[in-house]
Amino acid sequence: MKLTLPTLPKFPNLRKLPNLPNALRASPASRVALGLVGLMLAMLLLIDVFVGGFLPQRGDAERRHRLITAELIGTRVGQALQRNDPAALRTLLGASTRREPQLRSAAVLTDGELRAGIGPHAQQWRLGPDDASTLDNLRLPLFVDGRRSGELQLAFEPHTPRSLAGWLAEPVVLGMGLVAVLGFVAFQLYLRRAMRYLDPSAAVPERVRTAFDTLTEGVLVLDVKGRIMLANKAFLALGGPQATAPTGELATELAWLMRALPSGAGVPWQLATQRNEALLGIQMRVDADPTQRREVVANCSPINDGFKRARGCLVSFSDVTDLHERTERLREAMAELHSSREEIRAKNEELTLLATRDALTGCLNRRALLQDSDRAIAAAAQSGAPLSCIMCDIDHFKSINDRFGHGGGDEVLKAVAKALGRGLRTGDLLGRYGGEEFCVILPDATLEQARVIAERLRADVEANAGSSVRHLADVKVTMSFGVEQCGAHAAQFAAIVDRADQALYHSKKNGRNRVTLATELPAATPEETTAAH
């Protein structure tokens, strides 16, 4: 019998090892060591891919072993078929599965029918009628007397691990893992020693570090990537008792520092490095120490090389908390001073009002009236504008006092003052001249215009003054008026008032509740004037 075995297909290399888990937050030496280990393993895999045979191939040895096993079983099966001994054929297959642990099932087919089988072959056999053999399922044609009489089907254990534990048990995986662990330990020990000499902070002379630490301002030296190259004690003090600034770490990883930056303005040292220009006066509020909030002003200046290119950034932090507090106290003091000044101004206005106004009627008192009238007369004399004076007196005021008492008389005085003020123009002067007598100064008013105003005031008083005092029953209030214009006969205030007063007494003498112009006065002796008064 001649047994012909097909050429089994080549199988690809083992799958790549899964990536090692990311290192925890570790020192720079540990992270560099992990990177070097990864590079070393990658180079080993690349060498194996391009050179071949560098790493042991478990599949090739497995293939050779299974081919030899298949040839031995096939030879014996062929002999049993030639003897036409079915019992021997089943015994042969059973003995083969016991001797070969990786052989799960076997079957012999002749003319498309199963002659003998062992194990759960239907579940283990995965090839179709025309499929080529694989490393797990081998199909061997059987020849008896030079004629193909059937085929032998062998199902082996899967050569590829089906679980994580199986993968980890692979010799190549174990070897690569051991190389990775030993390499990581060796690299880390070496880098720790080497970085003592490469540490930028160690390269800074001690006298320079001491000089930086004596500065009252916080100082931070960063490289072009924003990594910390140097930080003095004043900077660390801003971050609180537990603050650290590890060399080589990004400054943006300091949480307390990032919280203090103005929102929406970007990272100032990054902007200064990118623009290659200084950023000054950055207001910050540091709250790293829960017992005290610090007001800080930061300044960022790029560090340039010989070609004017930014190679880093120098950041200074000035603690202006005391200045800020003094400014706030000064602002509060200024606010209190302003409030006091406003209060003083209001008091002054109140005092001025008390000094210039009649307390009962609210009109100008006599002294204020004299001062304002002198200024009005001087202005009229300078501009040539007319100016008139009205003197008015409440008729029968003594009888009102006798009838309603001084309280009733005061109410009548207030009603009369209100009526007189209601009928005057803006800029006219109204003052209580004395007792129940009032004086009105009318700038820019001729004698005739003053007479019209006086008539209007007289009518308003007669119509409304008495009725406005409602709690005084049946009181009738009228006034008598005398009018004079500033001119040749009366150029001074006293003279104008005297002439208007004479016209007033003429109105009282001739029936009261009327208006008399000074020009209408008849020639009178002083005795008559005194009697009318």
**CB neighbours of 532 closer than 8 A, spacing ≥ 6?**
505, 506, 508, 509
Per the annotation, the verdict on 336 as an active-site residue is: no
How far is Cα 74 from Cα 92, in angstroms, rounded to an integer? 10
Catalytic residue among 100, 295, 436, 437: 436
Q: Residue 477 to residues 421, 451, 458, 466: CA-CA distances in angstroms?
A: 16, 20, 10, 5
How far is Cα 289 from Cα 285, in angstroms, rounded to an integer? 11
Neighbouring-strand partners of residue 297: 283, 318
Whether 140 contacts 70, CB under 8 Å: yes
Neighbouring-strand partners of residue 484: 389
The count of other CB atoms within 10 Å of the CB of residue 295 is 19
How far is Cα 73 from Cα 78, in angstroms, rounded to an integer? 9
> CA angle 406-439-485, nearest 5°?
155
Which three-class secondary structure state does DSSP give residue 480?
Answer: strand
Strands (E), 387-475: 387-394, 429-434, 437-443
How far is Cα 448 from Cα 153, in angstroms, rounded to an integer? 144
Give catalytic residues, as residue numbers: 436
